[in-house]
Amino acid sequence: MPRIAVIDKELCKPDKCNYECVRFCPINKSGRNKAIEIGEDGKPIIYEHVCTGCGICVKKCPFHAIYIENLPEEVEEKLVHRYGENGFALYGLPVPKPGIVTGIIGRNGAGKSTSLKILSGKLRPNLGKKEASWDEVLRKFRGTELYNYLKALKDNKLRVAYKPQYIAEVQRLLRGTVRQLLEKVDERGISKDLIESLNLRNILDRDVRKLSGGELQKLLIALVLSKDMDVYAFDEPAAYLDVKERVNMARAIKNFIPPNRYVLIIEHDLAILDYVSDIIHIVYGVPGVYGIVSQPYSTRAGINHYIRGYLPSENMRIRDKPIRFESPEAREKVLPTEKYLEWPKLVKRFKNFELEVEPGEIRRSEIIGVLGPNGIGKTTFIKILAGIIKPDNIELNIPQLRLSYKPQYVTPQMFRGVSTVREALKKIRSDALDTSSWFYTEVVRRLGLNKLLDKEIKNLSGGELQKLAVALALGKEADLYLFDEPSAFLDVEERLAVGDAIKHIVEANNAAAFVVDHDLVMIDLITHRIMVFTGEPGKRGHAYPPMGLREGMNLFLKELGITFRRDPETGRPRVNKEGSRLDRIQKASGEYYYTLPVRE
């Protein structure tokens, strides 16, 4: 497998060094072709076809801006797009098919959004050059399934509706109320149906610039679906949505798109992707360096391959170990009976909202998942446990437990006293940057924070801030860990890494944890019991005491009207298609959540 050196341009500071990477490169010294030289912008450029990945430049760089990556064999002929010299490279593209929902899954920064932009006509592939003509692009894809699609795209014969990943950028361009926008773009006469399906009635007269993230997400999905298009493309449509809204969104995509249209969807929630997709493309590689698009797989097979970390068609190992789903019954059998923390009935009233929490307890070494719609009081409950909010009905006396709290919303202002990611990690624990430590391997490296060490916190993106906040919460020695939406903005790999880390820390420290999240696969993966919050969002919330996963999920999923089965190969939870044989059988028996694998 070829090895090359990669430069992180954000960390590279040529004005503060003497270009040791260029001076000490053995290939440069040999007098043959240069492997690394200074570019027009004053920053070094590495030539991949010459570099041998010897690692000398890595050791010489004082800013840790250069690192070694392995590249799969024989991918250059599949190069579709490159963002400049030494920039990110995308190899291959997903293959859209009419009447089929094509799901795309993979790491953040691996090229999923680039693929979607190309297939939506928003980005012309350059084939690794500064620029490529459409004729060159079509010649490259002649004889493939993509040729006719790309030719129709080039000839403007495909009309495309595109829901972007970063919805805040769209919000700045929109004007008017939700009702006005829906009426303006509705080409199919289905706006009233979409309003009911996506629960938009309460915000119809709201100015679009005053919508929350979840409200804006639902509006943009409705706007895309209301158009009469040939291609419907969705980039992370479940972001900002709670579980119920995610299911409603997936139903809308399945039910409202006309037949024989192309549908493309990028999604990190495995349950939702499983529910809505017909085929899956896996994008693997090194985030920020290169991405490779896999062959298409059936939805079940593709997600199972992703969980195992091995793609058979490519004969490619994409993860060093598989993800294992342990049965809830097995988890409950080994759960200690020692009560770690108890709370009485809790009541908290705000101006327009009231929360009532039934008495309950958490046991030592236990992880409790917290499920419910947005605006139902989950965060309020976590803040009560953290001592940030006081209940109205009682003086809550919590034992002197060491707490580690990851809040729902993360801002740069939270990280007082440190300016870089490196400083923040070293402050929280001494072995954070010890490459032989468990924390570095399973948290820092798996979340990609090792590549952000010298980046200033004020310049981190929302996803990078989230990863840092999760890592700091995990790195703190505590008796009780409180995580409010730790999977937000994270890709599947990062979510699974966070879940594994939470399990490891709770077990190793003999501690306990509450995890509020909307990703049912992650909740299923790590929790022993769950708390279900019901009520009317924004007005009143009621929290049941912790209950077994089977009992709690049945209560929660019955309200959503969906059923889950377990995959017989991986044990992961899978959403049943509505009206399918298994869906009807489980609803009739009251088993909305099978805890044992079901033969397909």
What's the rounded mean pLDDT across residues 437-446?
85
Kindly report which listed range (61-75, 84-98, 344-358, 392-406) carries the lowest average pLDDT score.
61-75
Q: Specify the DSSP class assigned to residue 295.
A: P
In this predicted structure, the answer to whether residue 550 has a pLDDT above a threshold of 80 is yes
pLDDT on residue 333 = 61
pLDDT on residue 531 = 95
pLDDT tens figures, 279-328 = 999 999 888 888 999 999 999 999 999 988 888 888 787 877 777 777 66
Of 587, 525, 46, residue with least CA distance to 331? 525
C-alpha–C-alpha distance, residues 575 and 270, integer Å: 10
- Strand-pair partners of 242: none
In this predicted structure, the answer to whether residue 330 has a pLDDT above a threshold of 70 is no
C-alpha–C-alpha distance, residues 151 and 134, integer Å: 8
- Strand-pair partners of 69: 4
Helices 549-560, 243-256: inter-axial angle, 10-degree rounding: 50
The phi and psi torsions of 247 (rounded to 5 degrees) equal -65, -40
The phi and psi torsions of 529 (rounded to 5 degrees) equal -140, 170
C-alpha–C-alpha distance, residues 449 and 435, integer Å: 12
pLDDT on residue 418 = 87
Q: Name the token pair of 474.
A: 């995990």
- Confidence category of residue 72, pLDDT binned at 50, 70, 90: low
pLDDT tens figures, 470-490 = 999 999 989 999 999 898 888
Percent of the chain with pLDDT over 90: 37
pLDDT on residue 356 = 94
Percent of the chain with pLDDT over 70: 95
- Confidence category of residue 597, pLDDT binned at 50, 70, 90: low
Of 452, 517, 505, residue with least CA distance to 475? 505
- Confidence category of residue 219, pLDDT binned at 50, 70, 90: very high
> ∠ at Cα 92 (86, 97), nearest 5°?
150
338 CB neighbour count, 10 Å cutoff: 11
pLDDT on residue 241 = 87
Tokens 């399918």 label which residue?
580
pLDDT on residue 62 = 86
Q: Output the furthest CA–CA distance in the chain (Å, rounded).
A: 80
Of 289, 282, 311, 288, residue with least CA distance to 71? 289
**In terms of pLDDT, which residue wins out, 71 or 113?**
113
Contact 14, 57 (CB under 8 A): no
In this predicted structure, the answer to whether residue 336 has a pLDDT above a threshold of 70 is no
Q: Name the token pair of 88.
A: 């990110």
pLDDT on residue 303 = 93
Helix (H) or strand (E) holding 390: none
Q: Specify the DSSP class assigned to residue 558.
A: H
In this predicted structure, the answer to whether residue 599 has a pLDDT above a threshold of 80 is no
pLDDT on residue 543 = 94
Half-sphere exposure of 499 (CA within 13 A, CB side): 27
pLDDT on residue 288 = 81
pLDDT tens figures, 150-185 = 999 999 999 999 998 887 777 778 888 999 999 999
Q: In order of start, what are the domains of the chain with their CATH numbers?
A: 3-70 (3.30.70.20), 76-317 (3.40.50.300), 328-547 (3.40.50.300), 561-600 (no CATH)
385 CB neighbour count, 10 Å cutoff: 21
Q: What's the mean per-residue pLDDT of the chain?
A: 87
**In terms of pLDDT, which residue wins out, 149 or 73?**
149
C-alpha–C-alpha distance, residues 415 and 413, integer Å: 5
In this predicted structure, the answer to whether residue 1 has a pLDDT above a threshold of 90 is no
In this predicted structure, the answer to whether residue 420 has a pLDDT above a threshold of 80 is yes
Of 471, 478, 436, 437, residue with least CA distance to 453? 471
Contact 529, 368 (CB under 8 A): yes
- Confidence category of residue 213, pLDDT binned at 50, 70, 90: confident
